[in-house]
Structure 1
Amino acid sequence: MVGVVAMLVATAGGAGWWWSSHRGDGTAVQEARSFAEAVAADLAAGRTSTGLKGAPTSAEMGRILDGMGEIPHTVTISGIALDEDARRGTVTLEHSWRVHKDKKPWVYRSTAPLRRDDESWASSWSPTILAPGLEQGEGLQARRLDAERGEILGDGDTALVTDRQVVRIGVDRSQTTSTAQARRTARAVAKLVDVEAATFVKAVEGAGPQAFVEAIVLRSGSPELADARRGITGLPGARAVNDEIPLAPSSSFARSILGSVGPATAEQVASSKGAIRAGDVVGTTGLQQTQDARLRGTPGYVVEAVDLDTKTTRELHSVPAVDGKPVRTTLDQTHQEAAESTLAQVEPASAIVAIRPSDGHVLAAASGPGSKGVSTPTLGQYAPGSTFKVVTSLALLRTGIDPQTPVPCTKTTTVDGRSFKNYDDYPAGGTGDITFSTAIANSCNTALIAERERLNDNSLSEAAEALGLTLPPALGVPGELGDVPTPKTGVDLAAQTIGQGQILSTPTGMATVAASVTRGSAVSPVLVLDGSARPSARPGRPLSGDEAQQLRALMRGVVTSGSAAFLGDVPGEPVAAKTGTAEYGTDEPPRTHAWMIGTQGDLAVAVFVEDGPGGASTAGPLLEEYLRKVQQ
């Protein structure tokens, strides 16, 4: 009977050997160790091993390991056991494949029988020496398991950005007979789908003989796709390949906010330290980019035994992918689409922002086509004009003015040598001593400027903070609200009372003012519910219930008896509003921004057009159209 009485063991690094036996030949042990090290080195290098009888040739080993590509493979000796007479034994090898840099490696042990022939050691090849369970005629291959990209959700966790069907139009080199034919087809496809021909032709020429080179990705069902399908018919190698990628409901839907995805650039791959590989889909702009790590998830891998003839596979080991997590936003599809369709024909930069005052959720943040990809709702800072009079009204209410207080509305007024006037279409019968509520309803500039002496240097900034305009934004996306600097001169203060001078606001900022009036406390608008949004801040002097009630009455008066009377028949709950026109630039007469803010029930809206003759005439109809659409 053979008994194992001697064992040689190494640590993973190959050091720390120990030897225990009742008797044995120390030279035989050292020779067995040298033999095992040579076998391990050959296996790790993927070459044939002269110490293994019947081992595959180097070419055959290449086929066996072809599916493992450049994956690092290390083999160390875990232990050697020799029998009593040191003529036979077993070597245990520990293998480690670093399949994915950020994943636990595939580690396992295999064994090889040892026999001593004359004065040397030998063994016989078996596929199980390379990997347990591997059979004759099989090789190894590793495949990446892609993670599902997380969805971007909207209000009520409705999926906004989710996998949607697309078709990739391009050239399949395997279906062309020559480079010249592929070149001709590429040129025709580029013209058909309107991509830069020279670049696409070069990509097709440089691709491998089995490659599919994509020219464009089109949404399923789009008119462009129907035209492309017809156009590629009869073009050798031109193909339309069905696929799914994460997309919003339409190509324009909140694009400047949500962003887009695409193949990773070389820079993104290099900077990711192995987390991103060439061909991966990553966020390239907007929320898709800022929340990419959360949305992308982490890939896994599977190692398979593959029949070298039939190519059938079976799993040997796997590490599952971890799917990306969703990012929840507050956008409401109905409100966003209504806002975008309302702005569809507006040529200058424009925006509509809708906030639900009860929770501060941004339901819509739409940019018009004139914004040219910029997020005008969150990043466009402009003088807010007379919409800022809501803030000025709060500052004046705090000095003791009430809605019935008489104020002087003159045609013009002069402050430190600078003349101010009312807007061109100001009603002639609205001048003279009028109530404060009438001054707000008709938007009398001179009346508010006349009352500026009631204010101190901090009055407007405190009122703006109470209405959320100057609190730190907690949107969860890049964005600003407003800026109300301390006036340096009397002229500065006069200009600021009517939303001019150095006062700035984004459309989101003015929607926040309207929302705060409705809720009766400062609203901190939020657009992203997951991620790293900052906690909302509190104003130093909060809005009181009585102040909010008076502001709501002043804004309602703009609709019942003022410049926004056209909103009086909008269906649903009563509408309150404030118009705004802000001069800018050096033209004579000055060009103007057009603004309108409005509230209806638990909804606050700001409408902005960068270049328009007046708030009521330009932004007003857009607000009305939007409110009517969301009521349908």
Structure 2
Amino acid sequence: MRRLSAVLALVPLVLVSACSGDAAEEDGAPPDDLATDLAAGLELTAAAVGTDKEEDVASGAGLADVAFVGQDVSEVAEEYVEVVAGMNGIAPTVEGEVSGDAITLTWSWPVVEGEEPWTYETTAEVGEDGDSWAVVWDRTVVEPSLKKNDTLEATTVPARRGEIRGAGGKVLVTERPVFRYGIDRVQVSGAKAAASARELAALVGIDVAPYVAAVKAAGDRAFVEAITYREDEVPPAVRRTALDIEGALAMADEIALAPTREFAAPILGRVGPVTAEMIEEDPDAYEIGDIVGISGLQQRYDEQLRGSDGRVVEAANPNRARGRELFRVQATDGETLALTLDERLQTAAESLLADVGPASAIVALRPSDGSILAAANGPGTEGLNHATYGQFAPGSTFKIVSSLALLRSGLEPGSTLPCTATTNVDGKQFKNYDDYPSSALGDVPFSTAVAQSCNTAFISQRGELGKGDLAGAAAALGLGIDHDLGFPAYFGQVPPPASETEAAADLIGQGKILASPMVMATVIASVQEGAVVVPRLVEQVDVEAPDVEALTRTEADQLRGMLRQVVTEGSGSALADVPGAPVIAKTGTAEFERDGRIETHAWMVAAQGDLAVAVFVELGESGSQTAGPILEEFLRAAG
């Protein structure tokens, strides 16, 4: 047998030599060229199906160099296109060889990229058509078991998306039932399709113009999704009237979803149809119709969670209800992504923020290992992740860092500091917060300055700190050193001050000091643990502790003592009766300018046992008045 490879390029096929009756008599077998031309023509025609070349090959252009017994080449091409059109763009490699008085064709279909192809052989009988060799056409030339009217159909077998699990292996995100509402272009076309799209968009409350444009641009067999609802969240009006719209369709499906729409949404992200931008950026990974992670952890870990789809190839026939399976590549389900989030604490945090109007966040973590147990964002963030990636002035919560820097400079908790009503630094006047107790003014112990959060006392000690001392203290408590934690995380900044005024502001968490709620929870967690804590959320991501000047046991004890005093006699006294282990805490209020007005961030951080918490409200009265009650309720709920 003589094997010849098919020609892959989409180029005109040229008959290399004539096949005459005289040649048949001399050789007694079909010529090699006939096998070559047949294989190449079949391959070229299949590759053109669904492209702008389909019309040409369906008329016989791809098989122009092959004669067929009793049939015009256009008739054969048309039938062949009908047989393979259901392969949805999967193009075979075809090799032909002369075997006795017939042609053996070896077919190889890459049904799923990267998997073993579907490979088999068929036989094409050969006869004479006048003075030339010709092929006897039959659907078995394409696949040996095909009967009359059979066609090949490839159907994707979707992989089940990997779950996202939280603390204790609790399932947080899994495939849950939904209804996808949209317009089915099979049922409606033209101007009527646009009118139906307009009516459906108005009913479900999405932007009308973009949806109408999408329906107009879709193919005649497309389903154009308008909106997806959880199974138990379809609005009554939509459930009652949507299907009265001509061409409207509600498809039952399953999509990877969290327990509720709000649950850790800015962090977990969401799953949906692949975007045009994603396809353009990585065409090998995505194609139209794919359901993928499009934001948050769902997008970052999409390859792991997504798995790989399988496909089944069937012999379909309009006279049979079900296809006959010919080949299958099993789907490979996605892998689980394990997180440290605690469903109960995350739900409690989100419940506490549900009615907070301004942007807000709560982060809770475990000091012993850094596990983030809750990272909640209130509705005022409008979908942004302030909890782990917000960048705000931390106000007096940063005095935990300043206190460590001052302890390292030689101060003791009992050292006397001047707490004046105001202080002036290079023409800039600093004062204490508005309701600062007058009884705590004057010469006070360092511990009292911490407990009452005296700004002027801290600013008076700026000359005791050398270059880098404040940044070094911040690093020892986990602030200001970046890590890749496998999710968006902001660790704050402590840049060198550009002036005396800025150095003064830095000591009270203003100036150019920035932090996220996550890193402020880390700061008080490091005090509670007595060592630098590195937050962790994604179990498979390991991060080593930074090489910093570690907290000493004495420093940790002194800081815990002063922060306990915040609760027993200072600005955090509302936490004094929280049940359980003793609470340490620090309040914070940070001024910032917006639209020409001075506004204030409200902060509070606390630790109790093996739990550290930060609460942030973008606009509030003060840390103790605005953030304090939220933090207290969270600690009680967590107990």
| TM-score when normalising by structure 2 | 0.86
Q: Which moved more, 1:554-563 or 1:588-597?
A: 588-597
Indicate the residue corresponding to 1:86 in structure 2.
Answer: none
Letter matched to residue 568 of structure 2: T
Instruction: State the partner residue of 1:339.
Output: 349
Asked if 1 retains the 8 angstrom alpha-carbon contact of 2:107 and 2:120, the reply is yes
2:628 is paired with a residue whose SS is helix
- TM-superposed CA distance for 1:243, in Å, is 1.8
Instruction: Select which of 121, 137, 140 maps to 2:152.
Output: 140
The answer to whether residue 588 in structure 2 is matched with residue 580 in structure 1 is: yes
Of 204, 227, 232 in structure 2, the residue corresponding to residue 216 of structure 1 is 227
Provide closer, same or farther for how the CA distance between residues 213 and 126 of structure 1 changes in structure 2, counting only shifts above 3 A.
closer
C-alpha change, 1:131 and 1:231, in structure 2 (3 Å) is closer
In the other structure, the counterpart of 2:161 is 149
Contact 1:558 1:565 in 2 (8 A): yes
* Counterpart-to-counterpart distance in 2, 1:370 and 1:277: 35
The farther-off stretch of 166-175 and 89-98 is: 166-175
For residues 543 and 43 of structure 1, do their structure 2 counterparts lie closer, same or farther at Cα, with a shift above 3 Å needed?
A: same
Alpha-carbon distance, 1:201 to partner: 4.1
> How far apart are residue 402 of structure 1 and its match?
2.3
Q: Any residues of structure 2 matched to 1:261-276 within 5 Å, and which?
A: 261-276=271-286
- Secondary structure class of the residue paired with 1:37: helix
1:193 is matched with which residue? 204
Q: Is the 8 A contact 2:154 2:312 kept in 1?
A: yes
CA distance in 1, matches of 2:94, 2:221: 35
Matched, 1:606 2:624: no
1:444 paired with 2:454, answer: yes
- With 150-159 and 236-245 compared, the bigger mean Cα shift is at 236-245
Of the candidates 477, 482, 492, which is equivalent to residue 492 of structure 2? 482
Question: Quick check: 1:437–1:554 contact (8 Å CA) kept in 2?
Answer: yes
Task: Return closer, same or farther for 1:105/1:290 CA change in 2, 3 Å cut-off.
Answer: same
Corresponding residue of 2:601: 593
Q: Alignment identity in percent? A: 48
Partner SS for 1:628: helix
Distance 1:201 1:418, change over 3 A: closer
Greater shift, 46-55 or 615-624, is seen at: 46-55
Amino acid in structure 2 at the alignment position of 1:92: T
CA distance in 1, matches of 2:525, 2:86: 60
Q: Bigger shift: 466-475 or 586-595? A: 586-595
Q: Give the match's secondary structure for 2:460.
A: helix
Q: Using the TM superposition, give the Cα deviation of residue 256 of structure 1 relative to its aligned residue in structure 2, in angstroms.
A: 1.4
Match of 2:142 among 130, 133, 143: 130
Q: 1:457/1:206 Cα in 2 relative to 1: closer, same or farther (>3 Å)? A: closer
Shift of 1:585: 1.7
Farther off after superposition, 406-415 or 606-615: 406-415
Show the counterpart of 2:35: 36
Which residue identity does 2:27 align to in structure 1?
Answer: A
1:72 correspondence with 2:91: yes
Q: Is the 8 A contact 2:69 2:129 kept in 1?
A: no
Cα distance change on mapping 1:199 and 1:232 into 2, 3 Å: same
AA aligned to 2:573 is: A
2:380 to 366, 370, 382: 370
- For the 8 Å contact 1:39–1:51, the answer to whether it is kept is no
Match of 1:555 in 2: 563
Contact 2:177 2:255 in 1 (8 A): yes
Amino acid at match of 1:166: V
Distance 1:578 1:440 in 2: 8
Among 463, 466, 469, which residue is 2:479 paired with?
469
Code of the residue aligned with 2:160 in structure 1: it is E
Of 4, 8, 19 in structure 1, the residue corresponding to residue 2 of structure 2 is 8
Q: 1:238-269: CA deviations, max 9, x gaps?
A: 44332211111211221211111221122322
Secondary structure of residue in 2 paired with 1:560: helix
CA shift digits 1:432-453 (9 cap, x unpaired): 2222222111111122222333
Q: Distance in 1 between matches of 2:449 and 2:311?
A: 70
Q: Secondary structure at the match of 1:590?
A: strand
**Aligned twin of 1:18:** none
Deviation (angstroms), 1:318: 2.1
Show CA shifts across 1:315-354 (max 9, x none): 2222222222222222222122211121122222221111
Higher mean Cα deviation, 99-108 or 402-411?
99-108
Structure 2 SS opposite 1:287: helix
Rounded Cα–Cα distance in structure 2 between residues aligned with 1:457 and 1:351: 33
2:181 maps to: 169
Question: Secondary structure, in 3 states, of the residue corresponding to 1:191?
Answer: helix
Which segments of 5 or more consecutive residues in structure 1 lack a partner in the other structure? 1-6, 15-23, 83-88
Counterpart Cα distance in 1 of 2:428 and 2:6: 85
What are the Cα deviations for residues 150-171 of structure 1, in whole angstroms up to 9, with x where unaligned? 2222222322221112122334
Displacement of 1:138 in angstroms is: 2.3
Q: 1:346 and 1:117 mapped to 2: Cα distance?
A: 85
Distance in structure 1 (CA, Å) of the matches to 2:393 and 2:341: 26
Q: Report the counterpart of residue 109 of structure 1 in structure 2.
A: 121
Task: State the Cα deviation string for residues 534-576 of structure 1 (Å, max 9, x = none).
Answer: 7334232111222112211211111111111111122332221
Paired residue type of 2:92: H
User: Matched residues in 2 for 1:613 and 1:181: separation?
Assistant: 56
Indicate if the aligned counterparts of 1:275 and 1:298 stay in contact, CA closer than 8 A.
no
- The answer as to 2:637 corresponding to 1:629 is yes
1:330 to 340, 363, 376: 340
**Residue 237 (structure 1) shift:** 4.5
Q: How does 1:481-500 map to 2 (within 5 A)?
A: 481-500=491-510
Contact 1:302 / 1:319 at 8 angstroms: preserved in 2? yes
Go from structure 1 to structure 2 and tell me whether the alpha carbon gap of 1:182 and 1:620 turns closer, same or farther (over 3 Å shift). same
**Which has the larger displacement, 362-371 or 583-592?**
583-592
In the other structure, the counterpart of 1:4 is none
How far apart are the structure 2 equivalents of 1:520 and 1:26?
97
CA–CA distance in structure 1, aligned partners of residues 187 and 303 of structure 2: 38
Please give the secondary structure, in 1, of the residue aligned with 2:534: coil
Structure 1: distance between partners of 2:468 and 2:594: 29
Q: CA deviation at 1:492?
A: 2.6
Shift of 1:393: 1.2
Take 1:433 and 1:154, find their aligned partners in 2: how far apart are those partners? 50
Alignment partner for residue 540 of structure 1, among 539, 548, 572? 548
* Counterpart code for 2:426: D
The 8 Å contact of residues 342 and 622 in structure 1, kept in 2 or not, is answered as yes
Question: Residue 482 of structure 1 aligns to a residue in which SS?
Answer: coil
Superposition deviation, residue 81 in structure 1 = 3.9
SS in 2 for 1:505: coil
Q: SS in structure 2 opposite 1:487?
A: coil
Matches within 5 A, 1:235-384: 235-384=245-394
Structure 2 gap ranges (5+)? 9-22, 47-59
Q: Secondary structure at the match of 1:395?
A: helix
Question: Within 2, Cα distance between the matches of 1:592 and 1:338?
Answer: 25
Quickly say closer, same or farther: Cα 1:118–1:197, change in 2 above 3 A.
closer
Instruction: Give me the CA root mean square deviation.
Output: 3.0
Alpha-carbon distance in 1 for matches of 2:498, 2:277 = 47
Aligned 8 A contact 2:69 2:135 in 1: yes
Amino acid across the alignment from 2:296? G
| Deviations 1:357-404, CA, capped at 9 Å, x for gaps | 111111111222221222112222111111111111111222332222
Displacement of 1:601 after TM fit? 1.2
Deviates further, 24-33 or 353-362: 24-33
